[in-house]
Structure 1
C-alpha cells in the first residue's frame, strides 16, 4: 500500500478550490461578454461607456483574486498531486497533464494581459492590443480545463452552469458578428457557423468524455488519486442522507501494521462524514512496504445506526481497495477506497465511494478524482 498524507482538515481546501474554479469560470465569461460589448460599442441603456469599462476592469481584478485562491488552494490540498511547477509550466503535472496544462496556459495568458495592462503606458499600442486579443483565448482554454479537470462536471447543476457560461459567450459573439457589417459576407457567415457549432462540439465532446465512466483514467489521473465516481469529488451527501445511500466522501484515518515474518496484517480505520470504515488486509510483506498475495475484509457502519455492511476485498491494486459489502438481509453494495499517494505510514487520507456504479471495479472503470 502506498503511504498517505496526514491531513484531517483538508475538506475546506478541496471545497474552496472547486468552488473558486467554478466562480472564476463565470467571472471570466461575464468579463469576456463585457469585452465583446465594449469592442462593439454596445452598453446597457442609461449606462455611460466609462461605467461599463470600469465594470470590465473590476471584474477582471476580481477574477485575478479568485484565480490566486484557486491555484493556492489546489496546491495546498494534498489529495491532488498537481505540483508548483505546473502553475506556470503547462503539461508537466502528473495529475491530468493535458487538461490541467490547458488551465495553466489560460493562467499564463491572463497573467500576460495583467502585466501588459500595468505597463500599457510603456508599450506600443499594437503590442498591448495583440496581447489583449490573445487574452481572449484564455476563456476557451478555461472552459475545456474546467470540463476535463473538474471533479464536479457530472453533477447536473454544475454541467448546466458550465454550458450556460458557454452559451452566454457564444450569444455575445454571434450578436457581435451580426453587427460586423464591415466584415466580408463570406467570412462573416463562416465565423457565425463556426461560433454556433462551438457549443454543439463541446456538448458532443463532454458526452463522450468527461460525462462518461472511466474519464479519470483516460484524463491522466494517477491511479492513486482516482475515485471511481469522480464527478462527485468529495462528499456528495450530507449527514442527513439515508443509511446505505450512495455517496463519495473524503476519508481520513489511520493505518496500523501488525505481525511479521511471512504474514502481516494491515488495518486501515477511519471515517467519512456519513460513517466509519475499517479495512483489514492480510498478506506477505514485501521489501517495498506493500503486501503481496493479500486478501481481506471490510466493514462500514453508517453514522447514527446499528447497521454494519461487511464483505470481502474484491480488488486490491496498490492504493485502490475495492470492496463488496452487504448489510444483514440486504443487497450487495459495491464500494471503493482510494488512498492518497503522499502521506505518512500511519495517517491516511483518501476518498471512499459507496454504493455507486462500478465502485468495486478496476481502476479502468474510474471517473474523476
Structure 2
C-alpha cells in the first residue's frame, strides 16, 4: 500500500486539491453573502444556503487533502509537525503559515456553525464573519506559495475571485436595511 501511495503523482494532486479547495471556498463565501441578501427569498434562499454549506464542506475536505498529500510528497517534503503547526516550515514561513491559518479558520467557522444553537446570534455572526480573513489568507497563500500562480489563468482567477468577493460584499452592505416592498392589500 505504501508503494501505491508513494507512486501517486502527489505534486499534481496536491496542487489540484489546493486550487479546488480555494475555488470551493470562494463559491461558498459568495453563496453565503448571496444568502444574506434581503431580496433573496423562498426556494432561492434555501438553495443558496444548501450550496453554501456544500461548497464550504468541499473546501475543507479539499484543503485537508492538500495538506495530507503534502505529507507524502517527495518534491516538496513537509513533516506532519510543519503541516499542522502554523509558521513552522523553515522556508516561506509566513506564507505557508497563512495557508495553515486559513485551514484552521475554515474548520473553526464550520464547527461553530454546527454548534450555532449553543451560541448567541451576535457571537455566531462575529465568528462567521471570519470567513473574510480566512478567504484572504487562502488567497495570499495561493498567490505567493502556489506554484501555479505563474499560469495566467490561475493568476487572473485569483484576482477575479478577490474582486468579485469585494464587489458582492459592497452590494450586500448597500442592500442592508432594504426590504422588498410589500404589495398593498387595501382597497381604495
TMscore range, shorter length: 0.7 to 0.9
Give the corresponding residue for 1:19: 16
Matches for 1:1-369 after TM superposition, within 5 Å: 10=7, 12-43=9-40, 47-180=43-176
TM-score using structure 1 length: 0.44
Long gaps (5+) in structure 1: 1-7, 183-369
Higher relative contact order (CA 8 A, sep 6+): 2
Contact 2:29 2:56 in 1 (8 A): no
Long gaps (5+) in structure 2: 179-188
CA distances 1:309-365 after superposition (whole Å, capped 9, x unpaired): xxxxxxxxxxxxxxxxxxxxxxxxxxxxxxxxxxxxxxxxxxxxxxxxxxxxxxxxx
- The alignment of Structure 1 onto Structure 2 pairs a total of residues equal to 176
CA distances 1:35-56 after superposition (whole Å, capped 9, x unpaired): 111222244x984311211111
Q: Distance in 1 between matches of 2:76 and 2:123?
A: 37
Q: Distance in 2 between matches of 1:42 and 1:11?
A: 48
Q: Distance in 1 between matches of 2:137 and 2:73?
A: 23
Q: C-alpha root-mean-square deviation of aligned residues, in Å?
A: 2.5
Q: Distance in 1 between matches of 2:39 and 2:55?
A: 18
Contact 1:106 1:142 in 2 (8 A): yes
In structure 2, relative to structure 1, the CA distance for the partners of 1:77 and 1:131 (3 Å cut) is: same
In structure 2, relative to structure 1, the CA distance for the partners of 1:88 and 1:123 (3 Å cut) is: farther
Q: Which one has a larger percent strand, Structure 1 or Structure 2?
A: 1
Contact 1:80 1:95 in 2 (8 A): no
In structure 2, relative to structure 1, the CA distance for the partners of 1:139 and 1:10 (3 Å cut) is: farther
User: What stretches of structure 1 move > 4 A for 4+ residues in a row?
Assistant: 8-11
Q: Distance in 1 between matches of 2:79 and 2:126?
A: 31
Considering only CA atoms, is the larger Rg found in Structure 1 or Structure 2? 1
Q: Which one has a larger percent helix, Structure 1 or Structure 2?
A: 2
TM-score using structure 2 length: 0.82
Give the corresponding residue for 1:348: none
Q: Distance in 2 between matches of 1:106 and 1:133?
A: 13
Shift of 1:85: 2.2
Q: Distance in 2 between matches of 1:96 and 1:42?
A: 44
Contact 2:21 2:61 in 1 (8 A): no
